[in-house]
Structure 1
Amino acid sequence: MTHFAAHAAPRWMTPLLHSIDDGSLHRTLDKALPPGIGPDPTKQSAVLMHLCGNPTTSTLPDDAAVLLTHRSPRMRKHSGQVAFPGGRVDATDRHHLDAALREAWEETGLQRNTITPIAQLGQVHIRVTGYPVTPILAYSEEPQEVHIASPAEVDDVFYFPLNELANPTNRLLVHRGQWRGPAFKVHDYLVWGFTAGVLHAVLQHAGWEIPWDRRTHYDLSEMIALSRNNEQH
């Protein structure tokens, strides 16, 4: 974990920063890979987890939100999925932070000088491929101007309220074969996989989670079909 400007984080983010410091957030996120899948350090990616909200409160403010994108159904990989802005670390990127900020600008038009990077989390390995993804936590007091900057990559860009994300009516567990994981209903999209796992862990470790139904499991394919994800692969 790398700190950038933790002093600039709002008070309501303090428990989240503690969970980053003590490693508990990373232990929740980076589970052991399935048999036959090994880490692949040659495929480095970074994502930007941009949170915004009133900096004066110690509890999660009503205006707190997270920046999300909907990947174009025409994309070759992860088509139709809801994701954080981000992507592959290029040879021209100086580091993971640089990659996350560049990708966010390319996809959403987010200007890097309008947000404050707070911390770099430890690598999280994608269970299907073993590829490592590095989440970058960033903050701004208010939502920034964003738009669909790369229609070939994303067809929706939006801030979603964290209080609505934590609302039990928007939460569910999904399964595919032996795999199961958390998911969220967001603007009629289904958020699942890596992005849902990160959001679930953040809500849990930041103390923003509200008790929700963890006993009922839904078939992932059926939930995707009922959503407007329009996933093609």
Structure 2
Amino acid sequence: MSPRSADRDHAPTVAAGPLVGTDAIPAWLRPLTDNVDGVTDSVNNRGGDRTRLVQAAFRRGSRPASVLVLFGGAFDSGDGHAPPGDADVLLTQRATTLRNHAGQVAFPGGARDPGDDYPVGTALREAQEETALDPDEVRVVARLQSFPVPPSGFDVIPVIAWSPDPGAVRAVDPGETARVVRVPIADMIDPAHRFQVQRTVMGGRVYRGPAFWVADMLVWGFTGGLLDAIFDTAGWTVPWDTDDVRDLADMLEKTGQR
């Protein structure tokens, strides 16, 4: 998600939950759309009371934004609630030449613009601008609760969507976006691709969170934490080594991200 100019007024309160009938949602996504509060609970339980206090304090000065969490794949998985073999999620990677957050991996999205049908319209507009996604090929199925992201100054509502085939997505502006990737869910939940990253300052830990190494990209921070919570809530998580903790600065240097 990249910053955009927008009014700083708070957006109207938006209720979380499904946006379409159950029959219109793939069975493998229903554990997520039926329990959107589970994502929030997963994030809060990871961070504890400190996370809740930071969220409450930060929201007062934040800007409304939304991101599109777009899952691709067959409607029927053929295996109950497990995602189908072709299931993927759409991610973008910022250009490594940018001054801020170079190489960062994110969901397509950004700040609410005046006149947006927020948050869904914002997420779809930004996704189209960043990835050439055709909104007509996307079925929006649910909204999650908002999450404050202090480093970017946004209060973000993730919009959950599905498409049997999002089509030929691409980086519309290479100066801003280096890559647009449909990452297989099977790769993301593979325990071999999962670990935690940690940042320390003066010997004290200031950040620790879940991360993924997929498609030659380090996925961490807001994006990595939200995906971790989504996978847990949807019941897709495969046990992985949470004791595998790697230094964030080292990982960013290796990947050219900052």
TM-score in terms of structure 2 length:
0.82
Alignment RMSD, CA only? 2.0
Deviation at 1:2, TM superposition (A): 4.0
Secondary structure class of the residue paired with 2:35: helix
Residues 126-179 of structure 1 show CA distances to partners (whole Å, capped at 9, x for unaligned) of 144663111000001124221111222211001000011000010011101221
State the distance in 2 between where 1:120 and 1:40 align: 21
Q: Does 1:17 align with 2:33?
A: yes
1:101 pairs with one of 115, 124, 134: 124
CA distance, structure 2, for counterparts of residue 3 and residue 101 of structure 1: 17
Counterpart secondary structure, 1:203: helix
In 1, the alpha carbon distance for the partners of 2:70 and 2:55 equals 33
Instruction: For 2:128 and 2:160, locate their aligned partners in 1 and report how far apart those are by CA, in whole Å.
Output: 15
1:197 and 2:197 matched: no
Compared with structure 1, are the counterparts of its residues 40 and 144 closer, same or farther at alpha carbon in structure 2 (3 Å cutoff)?
Answer: farther
The answer on 1:90 being equivalent to 2:113 is yes
Shift of residue 34 of structure 1?
4.1
Q: For the residues of structure 1 that align with 2:114 and 2:230, how far apart are their CA atoms? A: 30
Q: One-letter code of the match for 1:226? A: K
Residue 126 of structure 1 corresponds to which residue in structure 2? 149
Distance 1:27 1:13, change over 3 A: same
Alignment partner, residue 112 of structure 1: 135
The two structures have a TM-score, normalised by structure 1, of 0.91
Q: Which runs of 5+ in 1 are unaligned?
A: none
Q: Report the AA paired with residue 248 of structure 2.
A: L
Q: Does 1:171 align with 2:162?
A: no
Who is 1:4 aligned against?
19
Supply the AA of the counterpart residue of 2:188: L
Say if 1:34 and 1:176 are closer, same or farther in 2 by CA, change over 3 A: farther
- Counterpart check, 1:51 vs 2:66: no
Q: Deviations over 1:90-127 (max 9, x none)?
A: 11312111110000000000011111000111101114
Which AA in structure 1 matches 2:147?
V
Question: Displacement of 1:226 after TM fit?
Answer: 2.0
- Find the counterpart in structure 1 of residue 41 from structure 2: 27
